[in-house]
Chains A and B, each alone.
Chain A
């Protein structure tokens, strides 16, 4: 009690001694406070960087109602690869045209071991075939009515990973719908 009272006044030898003792008391252990501060810093750092949404740019071709302008461009069937997206994460691909494909419609898996390998392989062979770097692979993405949005984004993501020069999202034809949704896989092609 006496110490507390003499603390503010401070005079004489005894007072000086008391001041020193007060200084010692004023030192608070800040470890816990620093711990808390860093915990909060970590939390805010992580939440701020994670909450910024990622996005994927998608450009679609101009929709021109005028049929004169909208002529089909003929491309080499060897350069095209068509991906059919079905329900339950089913994915098929074929090369060339549907009536007479160069590679028959084949089931393939999503991801690193499946479709990505195939795209990378085709990308190389197409450039070798055309002998022109500007005439690379063309991927045609045809999502069926039962496919979901995740499938589409997955495939678009593969395009970005494999750096496919040209790709397009095209409406699926009835023939292809049949191919992906039902019927035996090999029945349509001779």
Chain B
């Protein structure tokens, strides 16, 4: 008798638990490995980043990486860049490129990166960053072409987020801001971590 009382029927609880588990697994987005890991500074502001039509500029260790959301936008931006810099990309390469979250190579070397596997690509120190000096400002062209592609595809203005490393020096950030301002982008997001108000 006493044995019967201590054991509870767990079936219903198990059902609920697994239902929730399934829900969370399905809604969770797999975290993509980043080719340039950065340590973002923390802030108390809790605005969320927009999820679509977003270009992320990652700055760290003196390198700049660029990534934009949306497969179609990526493809179109790639084609536009290829045209401008005289590099021909095949349909298959564009398809592969549309799966890359973020990259940091000049357009001329992009083919090699596209043909690598994702783990090879994310090896540290492999990608040298996108050129951004005034003579060879590919970053500005990427931003421009991605904006154009977003307008063509989604009829929306592209949002820009800057994801800077906490230790990177201000002039690096300033340079990116200047590039953005040269295109009349005066409002953008700074990606930050979270912290409480008592620090």
B-contacting residues of A (Cβ < 8 Å)? 29-31, 33-34, 37-38, 40-41, 44-45, 47-48, 51-63, 85, 111-112, 143-154, 156-157, 160-161
In the assembled complex, which residues on chain B have CB atoms less than 8 Å from the CB atom of A29? 7, 10
The answer to whether A37 and B17 touch (CB under 8 A), given A60-B177, A149-B168, is yes
Q: Which of B41-49, B66-74, B93-101, B140-148 touches A?
A: B41-49
Residues of B contacting A112 with CB < 8 Å?
197-199
12 A-B pairs in the complex with CB atoms less than 8 angstroms apart: A29-B7, A29-B10, A30-B10, A37-B18, A41-B24, A55-B45, A55-B190, A57-B47, A146-B169, A146-B170, A154-B41, A160-B45
Minimum CB–CB distance from A86 to chain B (whole Å) comes to 10
Residue of A nearest to B180 (CB): A60
The residue that A157 contacts in the complex, of B17, B27, B44, with Cβ under 8 A, is B44
Residues of B within 8 A of A (CB): 7, 10-11, 13-14, 17-18, 20-21, 24-25, 27-29, 31, 40-49, 59, 161, 163-174, 177, 181-182, 184, 186-194, 197-199
**C-alpha spacing A117/B82, complex, angstroms:** 53
Nearest CB on B from A85, distance (A): 7
**Structural contact, A54 and B192, CB atoms closer than 8 A:** yes
Whether B28 lies near A44 (C-beta < 8 A) is yes
Q: How far is A157 from B181 in the complex, measured between Cα atoms in Å?
A: 22
Partner of A147, one of B18, B163, B169, B198: B169
Q: Select from chain B the residue with minimum beta-carbon distance to A33.
A: B14
Q: Do B191 and A111 touch (CB < 8 A)? A: no
Given the known inter-chain contacts A33-B10, A150-B41, please indicate yes or no for A55 contacting B189, CB distance below 8 A.
yes
B14 touches A85 (CB 8 A): no
Q: How far is the CA of A1 from the CA of B31 in the complex (A)?
A: 52
A161 to B50 CA separation, bound complex (whole angstroms):
22
**Minimum C-beta distance from A118 to chain B (A):** 16
Closest chain A CB from B129 CB (angstroms): 16
Chain A residues contacting B172 (CB-CB under 8 Å) are 149
Complex CA gap A8/B14 in Å reads 28
Which residues from A are CB-within-8-Å of B197?
112, 161
Check A54–B46 contact: CB distance below 8 A.
yes
**A47 and B165 form a contact (CB under 8 A):** no
Q: Which residues does chain B contribute within 8 Å of A57, judged by CB atoms?
A: 45, 47, 187-190
Alpha-carbon distance between A136 and B71 when the two chains are bound, in angstroms: 46
Task: For A148, give its contact among B13, B31, B170, B187 (CB under 8 Å).
Answer: B170
Nearest CB in chain B: distance from A176 CB, A: 14
B47 touches A54 (CB 8 A): yes
A38 CA to B18 CA, complexed, in Å: 8
Note all chain A residues with C-beta closer than 8 A to B188: 57-58
Q: A55-B190, A153-B41 are in contact. List 15 more A-B contacts (CB 8 A).
A: A33-B14, A37-B21, A41-B24, A45-B24, A55-B189, A56-B47, A58-B188, A58-B190, A60-B177, A148-B168, A149-B167, A149-B169, A153-B43, A153-B192, A157-B44
